[in-house]
Amino acid sequence: MNCRSEVLEVTVEARQVEEAMLALLHTILLHRSTGKFHYKKEGTYSIGTVGTQDIDCDFIDFTFVRVSSEELDRAIRKAVSEFKDALSSDGMGQISLEFYQKKKSRWPFSDECIPWEVWSIKVNTVNLANEQERQICREKVGEKLGEKVINVVEVINRHEYLPKMPTQSEVGNVFDTSLKDVQPYLYKITYQITDSLGTSVSTTMRRLIKDTLAL
């Protein structure tokens, strides 16, 4: 199966990175979370209710909607925070939100994780000199994020591949059932930082190793 891949790109000030990432990741997760499944006998299940919350950004003129789940918010904030710390003040980086399915393999092979949708958000950070520029940036980034939300919604509403609704035994292979109030699809967040030379750290390492081996 082909994995759907979408790339979003934003340019923000360093202090806006966290909120911009939260806004986009939460918007995606809002669409990719359902209520908790409760399986009953006869193979039926009922679905819990997902609440939503408006979040105003402090450094950006923007409000986004996220799922009302403290646990989920904590998990996303943690990942974004790591990303933000790794990102230098005028660097570039990319944070990826990948939705995957687990496929049980036979021993001795471990379970496979097969991604079915990957969202990559490329971030460029800039430094601004004065308050006036920062104010303009607040508004501009707000508008840009709005456009990105529209892009996200557009992609999602194409209603392309989604994993089949699982049976009770399979639910852990499709959904993240560890949260107590909502159930997002299984996801993982990874990031890459590009150093100022424009090459990503991972490619530099790879090159080093290759060079070493070549000697």
Partner 1 sequence: MDSDLSPQDKKDLDKFIKFFALKTVQVIVQARLGEKICTRSSSSPTGSDWFNLAIKDIPEVTHEAKKALAGQLPGIGRSMCVEISLKTSEGDSMELETWCLEMNEKCDKDIKVSYTVYNRLSVLLKSLLAITRVTPAYKLSRKQGHDYVILYRIYFGEVQLGGLGEGFQTVRVGVVGTPVGTVTLSCAYRTNLAFMSSRQFERSAPIMGIIVDHFVDAPGGNPRPINMGQPCNYRAPDDEDGGALGVQDSQEVCTTSFSTSPPSQCVCTLSPSPSKLSKPLPLDSLQLPLAPGLVAHNLYASRLSYQPAPAGGATEFNTNQGLHAGKEVGMVLAPGADVHLTVENAPNTPSSSGDEEGLLRSGEGRSVSPSDTVESLNAFTRKVGAFVNKPSNQITVGLDLPFAAFAPRGLDSEENDPMVNPPDSPPSQSPLQASLHSQGSDGSGQQDDFVMVDFRPAFSKDDLLPMDLGTFYREFQNPPQLASLSLHTSSQSMADDLDSLPEKLRVYEKNIDEFDAFVDMLQ
Closest CA to 163 of 103, 120, 80: 103
Which residue lies nearer to partner 1 by CB, 19 or 87? 19
Q: Least Å distance between CB 73 and partner 1?
A: 11
Residue 187 contacts residue 99 (beta carbons within 8 Å): yes
State the pairing for strand pair 112-126/37-39.
unpaired
Give the max Cα distance, the chain: 65
Nearest distance, CB of residue 193 and partner 1, angstroms: 28
Q: Is 156 left (phi over 0), alpha (psi -120 to 50) or beta?
A: alpha
Q: Name the minimum Å distance from CB 66 to partner 1.
A: 10
Shortest Cβ 16–partner 1 spacing (Å): 17
Name residues whose C-beta falls within 8 Å of residue 169's C-beta, 6 or more positions apart in sequence: none
For partner 1, which is the closer residue by CB, 6 or 61? 61
Minimum distance of partner 1 from residue 136's CB (angstroms): 9
Q: Which is nearer to partner 1, 36 or 77 (CB)?
A: 36
Closest to partner 1 by CB, 169 or 212: 169
Strands (E), 143-181: none
Contact residues toward partner 1 (CB under 8 A) are 27, 30-31, 34-36, 38-40, 42-56, 61, 63-65, 67-69, 131-132, 135, 146, 149-150, 152-154, 156-157, 159, 164-168, 180-182
Instruction: Give the nearer residue to partner 1 in terms of CB position, either 82 or 154.
Output: 154
55 or 86: CB nearest partner 1: 55
Query: How far is Cα 65 from Cα 54, in angstroms, rounded to an integer?
Result: 5
> Least distance from C-beta 139 to partner 1, angstroms?
10
Task: List b or e across 35-61, with b for residues whose CB sees 16 or more CB atoms inside 10 angstroms.
Answer: ebbeeeeeeeeeeeebeeeebebebbb
